[in-house]
Chain A
Amino acid sequence: MSIASETLVRAAVDSAAAHGQIATFPPDRPLATDGGGLIAPLTVAFETYGALNAARSNAILLCHALTGDQYATSTHPVTGKPGWWDAMVGPGKPFDTDRYFIICSNVVGGCMGTTGPASTNPATGRPYGVDFPVVTIRDMVRAQAMLIDYLGIETLFCVAGGSMGGMQVLQWAASYPTRVFAAMPIATAAKHTAQNIAFHEVGRQAVMADPDWRLGRYQEQGVRPEKGLAVARMSAHITYLSEQALQHKFGRKLQARSAPTFSFDADFQIESYLRHQGLAFVERFDANSYLFMTRACDYFDIAADYGGSLAGAFKGAKTRFCVVSFTSDWLYPTSDSRAIVQALNACGASVSFVKIESDKGHDAFLLHEPDFIATTRGFLEAAAAARGLERK
């Protein structure tokens, strides 16, 4: 491994590793992936908030989305900003850190300390790059289960997450039904549609079209495909917002000028905004990780693992589900959530379904939405009572 070839990303990974908590699984405990790969050794970086009770019954696992990480509420070590779910996690918030023991880990294939394409491949002594095994949502959940075992927790009080995190929630309920007391799949789907895959493919092609991608070997060559990754983020970011929100916020407003410049400058505020989103993103995210994360979502089709029957995935489930969608989310629209609810009803599972009125699009689940906060609190409190958790 060449120290000279370390990049900004590598530094970010190291700082995450230095600040977060780490569970390392030795080579004799590999993660066997759906694609037939073995990841060993496996490091899982995670954060915890609150305290585990004596009965070990108050643990909540939060699953992060495509470009999220383990910093659910603590300050992000790279950006210095509050965690991605600061609206929902903390003392007195629905995921109450005074009451629950909250765990959030970086997914396998990620770039914030958990083993991923930027990690060193023990077989070569060089970064994995695209030689990293293509991981699935189920592989991410397998790695999380290893972490939960490592923490000595048998049953999670709740598993919750939005978007790709919601896919992990569904996978948890399907793979480990007895280990999940309550589950909250939010703004998510049981499978990726053609349109979902299409947007991801545009993002991947943008990364791979950047000359600095170097067939995925950019780390060793001391460069980064920043332009490609930024474009990928720009296109993806559009899918996270509603047309209404974009129009309301930007419309045709010009950026710090009174008239068009008749050039390809960022004349419009929306252009400037997207460019900013792209630039900010590349500072904290690894391009190869982005390829792997999007691929994992594309392969997700939980019914396919159960003979094409989504209800089959949750047969006999004792888990209490609360499915949440947002009205203006067109990336994973309410119809996707409804399909999950129908499947859960078909197998007699306990399910609540809440559709939150919002014009914020897919990203609404990350924002301060009072109805979402109220229903999450109600669902968790009822589940806590059923679980026999003491009130604080």
Chain B
Amino acid sequence: MNKDASPKAMAQSGSLLGDGKPGATRVDLEVIAGMVARGAKVLDVGCGDGALLQLLARTKQVDGRGMEISQLKVNDCVAKGLSVIEGDADLDLFDYPENAFDYVILSLTLPATHRPREALENMLRIGRRAIVSFPNFGHWRVRAELLFKGRMPVTANLDQNWYDTPNIHLCTIKDFVELVDEIGANIERGVALDRAGAPIRVNAPWWLWNLLGAQAVFLLERDRPREE
């Protein structure tokens, strides 16, 4: 199973920041961009306003495509020159053939899907690798809010009330690693991010990552029996 998914492997992924211009870019997007090989073919599922696709085009010269559920954002992306379609991660990933992309990215969208497992399996079907980032529901602040206030947490990364949030399938880093194991994929790299979105570079045991990471970014690889 995921031998690489050790905290050590996560800590080693420190030198991630792309050579993109500093400032405007969200740090977590730079972490994702750091996992993508130059010139790769990439699908960004839930690409929003296209910030990640633009970053990838600028710093990694990728052949980037996007899927976004909001038509207004799609139109905005296409007007910026990005190759984007309206689509839903739960429904429209089925249209793509196997191995259509080098990377399929799901940035902070996983908890909003109706069937996260199916979405993940589809990503690893149409892409050789998948990159998934999500807010960690195991973060100590989240736990503290539940424990001491007895209410659904509202934090920097989970900034909406339970009745407003699109997130319906929240999970912890530990939960996610278990799901990856269950669908038989490999974790090539994992990074926990602090509240500011910067990678946590200390070496720490698993339970600590799950406690300290406000977000996590995972680079997954499909388990292939004997290919290549």
Contact = CB atoms under 8 A, between A and B. Distances in A.
B207 interface: no
A341 B83 CA distance: 12
Q: How large is the interface on A (under 10, 10 to 19, 20 to 34, 35 or more residues)?
A: 20 to 34
B74 A378 contact: no
Interface string B85-96: 110000010011
Interface in B73-105: 74-75, 77-86, 92, 95-97, 100
B222 to A, nearest CB: 17
A375 interface: yes
A352 interface: yes
Interface string A347-367: 110111111110000000000
B95 A345 contact: yes
Given A342-B95, A348-B96, A348-B97, A371 B75 contact: yes
A94 to B, nearest CB: 11
B161 to A, nearest CB: 29
B75 A375 contact: yes
A385 interface: yes
B81 A320 contact: no
Q: Which of A350, A352, A382 has the most CB of B within 10 A?
A: A352
Given A342-B95, A350-B83, A382-B81, A355 B100 contact: no
Interface in A320-358: 320, 322, 341-342, 345-348, 350-357
A320, A345, A378, A385 — most chain B CB neighbours (10 Å): A345
B96 A353 contact: no
Interface size range on B against A: 20 to 34
A352 B78 contact: yes
A352 B96 contact: no
A295 interface: no
A379 B97 contact: no
Contact of B83 (A351, A356, A381): A351
A238 interface: no
B65 interface: yes
A320 B86 contact: no
A377 B96 CA distance: 27
Contacts of B78: 322, 352, 354, 375, 378-379
A202 interface: no
B79 A351 contact: no
B71 interface: yes
Q: Which of A351, A374, A375, A385 has the most CB of B within 10 A?
A: A375
Given A320-B83, A385-B81, A354 B74 contact: yes
Given A320-B83, A341-B85, A381-B81, A355 B71 contact: yes
A352 B85 contact: yes
A267 B84 CA distance: 48
A346 B100 CA distance: 9
Contacts of A375: 75, 78-79
Nearest to A356: B75
A354 B73 CA distance: 10
A379 B86 contact: no
Nearest to B98: A348
Contact of B75 (A350, A374, A381): A374
A11 B100 CA distance: 55
Interface in B23-80: 63, 65, 71, 74-75, 77-80
B96 A346 contact: yes
A88 B209 CA distance: 55
B162 to A, nearest CB: 31
A353 B80 contact: no
Interface string B112-132: 000000000000000000000
A381 B74 CA distance: 17
B80 A378 contact: yes
B79 A346 contact: no
6 contacts: A320-B83, A350-B65, A353-B86, A378-B79, A382-B81, A382-B83
Given A352-B83, A356-B75, A378-B79, 7 more contacts: A342-B92, A345-B92, A346-B97, A352-B84, A352-B85, A377-B79, A382-B82
3 A-B pairs closest in CB distance = A382-B81, A378-B79, A353-B85
